[in-house]
Amino acid sequence: MREKPLSRIGDEVLRIRRDVSRAVEGGSAPTGFGVDQELVTAFEAGTLSPAGRSELARQVARQLPAHWSQSNTLAEAMTRFIDHLGGQRELIVWLDGYPGPPRLVARLYVLMGLLDQYSENPAVVTALREYRERTPYPAGLEGHLVPQTDDETLAGLSTGIEELLGDGELGKAAGLALATTDCLRRVAARAAELDPATDDMGEVMDHTHRDIREAASES
């Protein structure tokens, strides 16, 4: 995972996701949901085998998109595990160390964090709105966008990625993510004209696009 996108997402990745995931709070946990607490305990003790670590990473990656429906017992175990790693940012870095679904999920969460932040930037929203006046539904985003563009548009794409992950649709989640990064690469120059503080958005989206594409090829 490239450092620049990671450096932009802050430390509270899952807190950001809870803020924009209210639409799925009424759902139920997906099949395979949960984390083996014996694996967590062994990991904390430093006795977990490499195979056990890979399995724990797989379970954690599967659970993250359904954090909104975890039981109190699982929430406590996950909090303890994340604290052991050093925080939510460190959790993402740890998952990225395991090829396949864990790495892909980690990189998708980096993008989700970026989208949530860009949603709050008027220059990015304006640049996207202007682009959609010429191209209402950019390639790969058909069915994921409503006609109007506002400060909920990118956050909505972020939620859509997480919902696909929660359904176990990793390929579709990666496809939506790649289409989103490609769209933002196209509006980056205009956003920078409107707000010089966004002048690295194109570079960040380039890095993120490559990260997700590489991880998807492993999954």
pLDDT per residue as tens digits for the range 6-24:
888 877 777 544 444 444 4
The pLDDT tens digits of the residues spanning 184-202 come to 999 999 999 999 999 999 9
Q: Looking at the predicted structure, is the pLDDT value of residue 30 above 50?
A: no
Say if residues 72 and 32 touch (Cβ distance below 8 Å): no
The pLDDT confidence band at residue 150, using thresholds 50, 70 and 90, is: very high
d(CA 202, CA 84): 34
pLDDT of residue 33: 54
- The pLDDT tens digits for 59-86 are 999 988 876 666 677 777 788 889 999 9
Q: Band of the pLDDT at 31, cuts 50, 70, 90?
A: very low
Cβ atoms 107, 1 nearer than 8 A? yes
